[in-house]
Copies of this chain bind each other. A is one copy, B any other.
Amino acid sequence: MTTIYNFSAGPAVLPKEVLRQAASEMLDWQGSGMSVMEMSHRGPEFISIYRTAERDLRELLGVPDNYRILFMQGGGLSQNAVIPLNLVGRVQSNGQPATIDFVRTGSWSGKSIKEAARYANVNVAASAEANGYTAVPPQSAWQLTPGAAYLHLCTNETIDGVEIDFVPEVPGDVPIVADMSSHILSRAVDVSKYGLIFGGAQKNIGPAGVTVVIVRDDLIGHALPICPSAFDFKNVAENESMYNTPPTYGIYIAGLVFRWLKEQGGIAAMERKNIEKARLLYAALDADDFYQNRVAPAYRSRMNVPFYLRDESKNEAFLAGAKARGLLQLKGHKSVGGMRASIYNAMPIEGVQALVDYLNEFAER
């Protein structure tokens, strides 16, 4: 049977070991007689699952004690509203609408700008639109707002394949909010440099429907009155993500992924593998004029690798041939076309090698 390698941008490939364990205890979690799906979120079994997941994630990312980890519903797009609803009130005491700074590096930061404009003034401090989202604008050109509610960055643009690998200098105490949805847990990160980090689970964490929010204590407790109570960070934080019923099964799978990451050697070990996987794939794309990745090398994402066939009339043949070899979900996002290989933590190097082999063979044909 063909080995399947799934390059979906999300929901995405999960570690086989995690899926095997989930299957084996689907009807009876550790002798409880219940599926995790059937457990009260307030019972001792699920509480232990939750706390283990929280502790493992804290350990993996080195989350300081003055940050809360929240497991929320809604996804990344809803966080684009939930975050301003929670954070702009902190700087709004004079009755003037707050300002949020954005650096526009692609599709997702664009969506964030549009959503935040419902709740605050938005200032696009810099935009990569002019270069077609192929490079992050130099920091020296960012027009930041003194006293802004926060600076929002999408540190990995899933669609455009642009990754920000530095932490910018921000004057004053303006917190940085980072949408790390598509590269969280793929590389070391100094959490203490950020006010808030968030990520939809469906790339590097687990199934769709869980969103992880890591937020500094002092940013909690400023929700606007129009913020739905289920999305008020204060309610979520004070109730261990159980102010309302959390997505329990998704949290359980996320917890299995966290344990798998620890068994793999943690973030440092994953980052080494991810560097190698990305090197291998970009080298193959650059080596052959048949393919093109348009992102400047310094900003190329290690996780999401969009590329184009110079002769786009061969797209369908390329995808059909890939599928026949078990290389799945390589079609690019509908908004940009072309191809995209997402090579998250759970994608083994053998999968990248199989893709590279296919890239070479298809170009030769």
Decide yes or no whether A228 CB sits under 8 A from chain B.
yes
Tell me the chain A residues, 38-95 only, with Cβ under 8 Å from chain B: 38-43, 73-78, 80-82
Q: What's the dominant secondary structure at chain A's contact region? A: loop
Which of A4-12, A141-149, A172-180 lies on the face that meets chain B?
Answer: A4-12
Decide yes or no whether A34 CB sits under 8 A from chain B.
yes
Residues of B near A229 (CB, < 8 A) are 77, 81, 114-115
Expressed in whole angstroms, the minimum distance between the Cβ of A132 and any Cβ of chain B is 24
Residues of A within 8 A of B (CB): 2, 4, 6, 8-14, 16, 19-20, 22-24, 26-27, 33-35, 37-43, 73-78, 80-82, 114-115, 118-119, 200, 202, 206-210, 225-226, 228-231, 243-250, 253, 326, 328-329, 334
Q: How many copies does the complex hold?
A: 2
Residues of B near A225 (CB, < 8 A) are 118
A27 touches B20 (CB 8 A): yes
A28 nearest in chain B by CB position: B4
A11 touches B118 (CB 8 A): no
A33 to B6, CA, bound (A): 9
Give 8 A-B contacts (CB < 8 Å), ordered by A residue. A11-B41, A23-B26, A74-B230, A75-B245, A114-B229, A115-B228, A118-B228, A209-B246
A78 to B85, CA, bound (A): 14
A19 touches B11 (CB 8 A): no
Residues of B near A231 (CB, < 8 A) are 78
Across the interface, A119 reaches (CB within 8 A) one of B118, B226, B230, B247, namely: B226
A34 touches B6 (CB 8 A): yes
Across the interface, A23 reaches (CB within 8 A) one of B27, B200, B253, namely: B27
A8 to B329, CA, bound (A): 39
